[in-house]
Structure 1
Amino acid sequence: MSDGIIIISESLERRDPVQDLPDLIQDFNSDLQWESKTSESPRSQLWSVGVVVGASQGDISTVVDVPLGIPWASFLRWFALVRIWTPWLAPRHGKDRLELDRDAILLSFLSPQGKHMVLLGISGLGNLVTVFRSDQRGAVSIRVRSDEEVPSSATVLVATSEDFECALGAVMYHARSMIVLNKQMTSEYEQEVSALKSEVNPEWYENWYDGLGFCTWNALGQRLTEEKVVRAIDTLAEHNVNITSLIIDDNWQDIDYRGEGQFQYGWNDFEAEPKAFPDGLKSTVSKVRSKHKTIQHVAVWHALLGYWAGISPNGPIAQRYKTTEVIREDAERRHLPLGGKMTVVAKEDVERFYDEFYRFLSSCGIDGVKTDAQFMMDTWTSSRARRDLIHTYLDAWTLASLRHFSIKSISCMSQTPQILFYSQLPPNRPAVLCRNSDDFFPEVPASHPWHVWTNAHNSVFTQYLNVLPDWDMFQTVHDYSGFHAAARCVSGGPIYITDVPGEHNMDLINQMTGVTPRGKTIIFRPSVVGKTIDCYVGYHDDSLLKVGAYHGRSGTGTSIMGVFNVSNRSLTEIIPLSRFPGVEANGIYVIRGQLTGLLTQPVKPSSVASFITVSLGVRGYDIFCAYPVSVFKSMQKGQIYLANLGLTGKMTGCAAILNSTFHAVTEKRMFLDTTLKALGVLGVYISSLPDLTIEDHFLATIQGQPIPPHTVRKANETVVEIDIETAWKEMGLESGWSNEVELKLYFSR
């Protein structure tokens, strides 16, 4: 890295005097209205800044640019999440001068004293979009676009703290309160609440979130046919790739193919393309479900407005529903031909359109949707169209998807400011999967480290939304396949592959998944989503990307850190245990590298020995888990250290643990009582293991029955492994009503 910076913080015991916002921002714009707010986040101060903007002029938005000032007067580092292009966010970093190449929705600045200032522009309140820019001096400027018919006031939130997460939490919690209060005054909010109470069927979220999925997009490409889909699923089964969810992606629809390229194509009718699916969508879904019982969910792709250019103006849908014509601007990136006219269902019929479309899908056996191209509404040139239709479509889609598919929907290309705040921030419905970055591009080598980097930084923001961040599909046979697999495992989101049929890395798939007692293939998803722990480190700083996650209850769960080399050269770093998320200062932990299996001695975060050295080559990665240690006393051996390592051989096998407790039965006997969500090989750390033998000192039971002795072995001097999967099969056990595995391991002290 380049030269580092040492910040000597003043004692946290002494509180700084309360300061006003203009004292913290150099050249603060005195025309701005600001007020102090009560922060819901500890150890933070919060302010609200109002920006007055005039009414839109006819069909033209009113846009204002208002200077704010320079945070802290000077700063050491800054971090931003910018609109890399209309549908997606991406990170930006810098040092002592703010230089933004794109509009930002979130900014953070590190002061020379080690304090953080976070700025958040609020969108989705009414018809306002609020973003940040930088001026020639490197100061912050606020840009507001208004589609309102009357003068309005936009809001920027500012928070400061000694801790970045506390400052970020302050602005996000207050933004959520503002959006919820505003939405509670609408009839759409009442409909959502009513639907949740009376129409949405409760179900285990894990049935959708935690199954292994397969998407046809990169695997089969466009111009789908029934034959391609069925053959692909058959091939997966032949290679023992047992998926739970199937996503039939773009191009199954009946499309008019007018104009040049897919962005000019319109959607004709609900039914699948007649030539490619001659017996209809229902027939295809029936064939898939009847032949492959492990597939519990079948979802289809569609654009929020129908297809990439909306509705075909002369098709059956346009005949059944009232439509309107809107004009799109060209895309800011990739020279995509997005511009021009598109036909969409008019405001009066949007709710009926969605209800009837989803009824059709349900009748075909479809029970989930991936709703893409949501950003398209933000490309419209008409202020009136955005004002009339954006919230209308978002409300109609949310309500229809809840009624017909419960939680089984994926929101995609939806990282526009209005959608992020208006639809994804309020906590009044179950969380849905939401794509967290631009696509996985298998044929673009440079995109792969950037893809993981971007997702890790976007999650800094999206962790506060009412969504489950989705890091997109990937292929298991690829130069970066393990890199992507490890990233998905620590993401806390779903995992679905898009392998070309017959091209599968089964070892990698087995590292990501396990089989439940009922035979379902599941992933091991941490309970806290993964995100970067170094928000101010830039992509070109030659530093390892460290993605922190956590699984389990506070204080007793497992801390997870995925480490990725996004550089084009080998890197080595020393990482202290204290940087692992959720570790307690007085706790004792053992750290295990999931790829190497190497394990540290029990250490405290304050210990000199609590550092791990990580060396990774280009495309290198590893996942480190810090397992909490239980300490017991033994008359003969002094203190004994014990830890449940979860399922070994899995990238995030700690997430298989549902419950885990060590008990002292007598002065000489102990046992581990643990419940797991899948079969596999359980690892248990026992510091006194060198003095014990499997034959004389161990007994393991599953569901109360002793397991075959040969399924318990010493993996090394401190780890005993129990092959639960082999024992389950040899004992002929059945799951019964439970889909969990209860194991007890008895051993001598």
Structure 2
Amino acid sequence: MSVMARRLSSSCSRAVASSCPSKSSLRRRIYTLPSRPLLLAFSLRASPLCPAPPLPPPTPPRCSFRTLAAAKESSPPSTSVSPTQQQSRSTIEGGEMTVASSVRLAGGNLTVCGRTVLSGVPDAVVATSAATEGAVDGIFLGADFAEPAARHVVSLGDLRDVRFMACFRFKLWWMAQRMGEKGSDVPRETQFLLVESRGVGDEDAAYVVFLPLVEGAFRASIQGGAGDALELCVESGDDDTRAASFERSLFVGAAESDPFAAISGAVAAAKSALRTFRVRAEKKLPGIVDYFGWCTWDAFYQDVTQEGVEAGLRSLIAGGAPPKFVIIDDGWQSVATDTNESAGEDKPPLLSRLTGIKENSKFQNADDPAAGIKTVVRLAKEEYRLKYVYVWHAITGYWGGVRPGEEHYRSSMQFPKVSPGVMENEPGMKTDVLTVQGLGLVHPRAVYRFYDELHAYLAAAGVDGVKVDVQCILETLGAGHGGRVQLTRQYHQALDASVAKNFPENGIIACMSHNTDALYCSKQTAVVRASDDFYPRDPASHTIHIASVAYNSVFLGEFMLPDWDMFHSLHQAGDYHGSARAISGGPVYVSDAPGKHNFELLKKIVLPDGSILRARLPGRPTKDCLFTDPARDGVSLLKIWNMNKFTGVLGVYNCQGAAWNSVEKKNTFHQTGTEALTCGVKGGDVHLISEAATDTEWDGDCAMYRHADGDLVVLPHDAALPVSLKVLEHDILTVSPIKELAPGFRFAPIGLVDMFNSGGAVEGLTYHLLGGDGSTLGSEAVALACMEVKGCGRFGAYSSVRPRKSTLGSAQIELKYDSSSGLLILQLDAMPKERVHKIVIEL
């Protein structure tokens, strides 16, 4: 985790990586200064590391109100267009631009499904149609300006009378959520905006997604302006990289009824247009995501040693929660400051820089110094049975970069230039040690060599992957390198190539990386830290953390699998954090100090073999929570949904009472109006729960198992179960579609009921009808429920009648049945000898 945020008292923390569009279609629109032509990074020459981009598709028509008036007087030459192409293009009808059937820019208004979303759209704003597929319609927006510049801001019109959820960067490194109802509520550095627009009456809402993109050397964001204006900001981060005309800086996509489909469809449309990134489903997930792990950071910070790593592993294994991966965080590298003198009490700490790619003396065995970090890797795998060892490094090598003159990577000192939007949200960056002391930046033409030599050395020692931190710093270093997007693209192409070569299981976690410069050029990295750090000593941070990871995952989860960060099991908020990690769908790891563990908690997450019951998707807020503010409004609970193969899972959290204070620039407590809050929980809150049903004609009835008290409730379709929670309280509910086998015979698996994500244990489920009616004790059986179950412990299911018998493998096994609730329990004493237990319940 972030050293700068803690040891150096700076604003540093952690996060992602990726971003970039097709060069060839945008080349004509970039203005460069003659004195520095080679620094503007728009060459189309191919290289082994950076191959020439594919040719873009033909650019669809582009129009503004200004150009439309001229178009009515002079018709363009006739062009032959196929029916499919014709349908996807914009058409000019009396000064109107129409795209498909639901998104329309006309008369100064942007309307979606007949509802006005933006009014008073200026003539400078231009629109290009988007050929989209599926449920999402959309258009691209850009703008024309009088003069080329490195930064432009333009109004997109007024946004009023809606509900929205924005993901914006409150720090250089990280995003958080903000809810509002009008344009002026949208924060600076907003990178994702989901808008709910309702017409007159109670009909379904239209969901509109605003995605600021990258275009050429420029990266876009949106923000509130004067009155209720929504503004588009485009910037290159390099005074010598300028443009005056933009066509596709913002995608606006819309869908009715389903906000999650609108989001996925919008990102897919952006992917199709940019062709510079891949989405999560297209990426290979590293093996660590299915196992429990341990990170050295909060246990040792920079004082980590080989002996400390061994002590941490021994301690967890002895308690019955064996980690299968370890992340050796900051503290293993060879670094030094620029001077041997101390900074002094009243001065900021001196920034360390990397002096070589090998480990420091703490990881050199006295008996065999040459073995280096290989020694601890070998011990971890051979003695402690770990599957994976990861190590930490910054994207620039270390916090202060690579010391100029060290090694052969053409490092030179550069000083970050923070964008106005980030500086407004995080004014502390003005005096941050990175900004003041600068860093040694490896030349982008040498950065692949740097990564390859570093990663090859680690791979030869048995290391399986890297956690790459401080990634957003690249956007501040674009001056002289063709701008922020170009520098980010070069670094990430090099990083992707090195990881692919040296860590074949795609062993990389992106961290401190929540900028779209990186997201929109990410083709390989599949795991990204989802929010600001877990701060064990900041009591205001815990509710904020859970809300942030959930809402950020709405956006980030389209690109990568969100990692909800490490946590402490032995902590006041340990259960709160641990249960959230268990349903997050991402990796689960702790940063406990040796000997400081809550094994009762960990055994609700970790199986005896070190594996976890990972849900299948990124955990996200339920549909009815997308536009509420569960950290600030004093009335809302946060509900988080996820999916397993045959069940869903819901987490309910009271996150009220604290939030990021935009004035004080820190987490602060605030007064809440009530001690306990209540919400209703429905089976349909699990957005894709119908996909877990084995019956295509499922009626919507669910069995819901409540982890907090062990109660099982049958919920008819659309019925709600009340849940009441105080601040820092939570509950986890397993949701299982009920199968109607015959009149009066119903069944639904629950899973390992003592685990947070119980239903993740059910790997297989089939039903077999036997023809009996079960009317009398001696009559034939009605059906068999056959299940494949991972793990061990108490296995539960719902049955409307007492089962006749149950078998585990070929042996009959005793079951307990509660006729009042329908809960049946089987005891699975040991892990399965094969991959899964095979259980048959006869009804």
Q: Same fold (TM over 0.5)?
A: yes
Find out whether 1:744 has 2:836 as its counterpart: no
Find out whether 1:463 has 2:532 as its counterpart: no
Aligned to 1:240, which of 308, 320, 331?
320
Offset at residue 655 of structure 1 (A): 1.1
- One-letter amino acid matched to 2:251: L
Note if contact 2:472-2:513 (Cα within 8 Å) is conserved in structure 1.
yes
Counterparts of 1:283-362 in structure 2, within 5 Å, are: 283-293=375-385, 295-315=386-406, 317=407, 320-329=408-417, 332=426, 334=428, 336-339=432-435, 340-362=437-459
Note if contact 1:212-1:496 (Cα within 8 Å) is conserved in structure 2.
yes
CA distance in 2, matches of 1:256, 1:632: 69
| Partner in structure 2 of residue 403 of structure 1 | 501
- One-letter amino acid matched to 1:687: S
Counterparts of 1:441-452 in structure 2, within 5 Å, are: 441-452=535-546
- Give the 3 Å change call, closer, same or farther, for CA 471–17 of structure 1 in structure 2: closer
Q: Which 5+ residue runs of structure 1 have no aligned equivalent?
A: 1-14, 185-195, 197-201
CA distance in 1, matches of 2:168, 2:103: 31
SS at match of 2:543: helix
Aligned to 2:632, which of 528, 536, 540?
540
- Give the 3 Å change call, closer, same or farther, for CA 53–105 of structure 1 in structure 2: farther
CA distance in 2, matches of 1:54, 1:244: 58
Find out whether 1:394 has 2:394 as its counterpart: no
SS at match of 1:106: strand
Aligned to 2:826, which of 718, 722, 727?
722
Offset at residue 551 of structure 1 (A): 1.7
Note if contact 1:560-1:581 (Cα within 8 Å) is conserved in structure 2.
no
| Partner in structure 2 of residue 145 of structure 1 | 235
- Give the 3 Å change call, closer, same or farther, for CA 327–645 of structure 1 in structure 2: same
- One-letter amino acid matched to 1:270: I
| Partner in structure 2 of residue 167 of structure 1 | 262
Find out whether 1:209 has 2:289 as its counterpart: yes
Note if contact 1:256-1:268 (Cα within 8 Å) is conserved in structure 2.
yes
- Give the 3 Å change call, closer, same or farther, for CA 408–119 of structure 1 in structure 2: same
Find out whether 1:699 has 2:806 as its counterpart: yes
| Partner in structure 1 of residue 338 of structure 2 | 258
- Give the 3 Å change call, closer, same or farther, for CA 108–98 of structure 1 in structure 2: farther
| Partner in structure 2 of residue 415 of structure 1 | 514
Note if contact 2:207-2:256 (Cα within 8 Å) is conserved in structure 1.
no
C-alpha distance after superposition, 1:382-432 (max 9, x if no partner): 253645532111001111112211322101111112001111xx5xx4x62
CA distance in 2, matches of 1:416, 1:55: 27
CA distance in 2, matches of 1:416, 1:647: 39
| Partner in structure 2 of residue 567 of structure 1 | 656
CA distance in 1, matches of 2:147, 2:469: 31
Offset at residue 559 of structure 1 (A): 2.3
CA distance in 2, matches of 1:101, 1:32: 21
Find out whether 1:155 has 2:264 as its counterpart: no
Aligned to 2:213, which of 119, 123, 143?
123
- Give the 3 Å change call, closer, same or farther, for CA 78–17 of structure 1 in structure 2: closer
Note if contact 1:82-1:102 (Cα within 8 Å) is conserved in structure 2.
yes
SS at match of 1:400: helix
- One-letter amino acid matched to 2:824: V
Note if contact 1:123-1:422 (Cα within 8 Å) is conserved in structure 2.
no
CA distance in 2, matches of 1:175, 1:18: 16
| Partner in structure 2 of residue 629 of structure 1 | 738
| Partner in structure 2 of residue 8 of structure 1 | none
Offset at residue 117 of structure 1 (A): 5.1
| Partner in structure 1 of residue 177 of structure 2 | 91
C-alpha distance after superposition, 1:537-574 (max 9, x if no partner): 1231220001111122xxxx322211000124311122
Note if contact 1:104-1:132 (Cα within 8 Å) is conserved in structure 2.
yes
C-alpha distance after superposition, 1:468-510 (max 9, x if no partner): 1101000111111111111111211110111111111111111
- Give the 3 Å change call, closer, same or farther, for CA 55–250 of structure 1 in structure 2: farther
Note if contact 2:254-2:266 (Cα within 8 Å) is conserved in structure 1.
no
Find out whether 1:713 has 2:819 as its counterpart: no
Q: Which 5+ residue runs of structure 2 have no aligned equivalent?
A: 1-99, 112-117, 658-674, 691-697, 773-779
| Partner in structure 1 of residue 21 of structure 2 | none
CA distance in 2, matches of 1:593, 1:269: 53
Offset at residue 131 of structure 1 (A): 0.5
CA distance in 1, matches of 2:156, 2:244: 20
Note if contact 1:277-1:284 (Cα within 8 Å) is conserved in structure 2.
no
Note if contact 2:303-2:331 (Cα within 8 Å) is conserved in structure 1.
yes
- Give the 3 Å change call, closer, same or farther, for CA 97–391 of structure 1 in structure 2: closer
Find out whether 1:49 has 2:144 as its counterpart: no
Offset at residue 119 of structure 1 (A): 4.4
Offset at residue 183 of structure 1 (A): 7.0
| Partner in structure 1 of residue 686 of structure 2 | 580
CA distance in 1, matches of 2:555, 2:738: 32
Aligned to 1:508, which of 586, 597, 601?
601
Offset at residue 206 of structure 1 (A): 7.1
Note if contact 1:102-1:133 (Cα within 8 Å) is conserved in structure 2.
yes
| Partner in structure 2 of residue 135 of structure 1 | 225
- Give the 3 Å change call, closer, same or farther, for CA 299–55 of structure 1 in structure 2: farther
Offset at residue 306 of structure 1 (A): 0.3
- Give the 3 Å change call, closer, same or farther, for CA 493–183 of structure 1 in structure 2: closer
| Partner in structure 2 of residue 78 of structure 1 | 164
- Give the 3 Å change call, closer, same or farther, for CA 611–228 of structure 1 in structure 2: same
CA distance in 1, matches of 2:464, 2:362: 24
CA distance in 2, matches of 1:346, 1:642: 63
Counterparts of 1:92-111 in structure 2, within 5 Å, are: 92-96=178-182, 98-111=184-197
CA distance in 2, matches of 1:243, 1:183: 33
- Give the 3 Å change call, closer, same or farther, for CA 561–344 of structure 1 in structure 2: same
Note if contact 1:80-1:93 (Cα within 8 Å) is conserved in structure 2.
yes
Note if contact 1:179-1:422 (Cα within 8 Å) is conserved in structure 2.
no
Find out whether 1:664 has 2:780 as its counterpart: no
- One-letter amino acid matched to 2:172: T
CA distance in 2, matches of 1:618, 1:403: 47
CA distance in 2, matches of 1:18, 1:85: 33
C-alpha distance after superposition, 1:690-713 (max 9, x if no partner): xx5xxxx313122xx315x45x33
| Partner in structure 2 of residue 187 of structure 1 | none
Find out whether 1:274 has 2:361 as its counterpart: yes
TM-score normalised according to structure 1 size: 0.83
Matched-pair identity in %: 25
- Give the 3 Å change call, closer, same or farther, for CA 576–236 of structure 1 in structure 2: closer
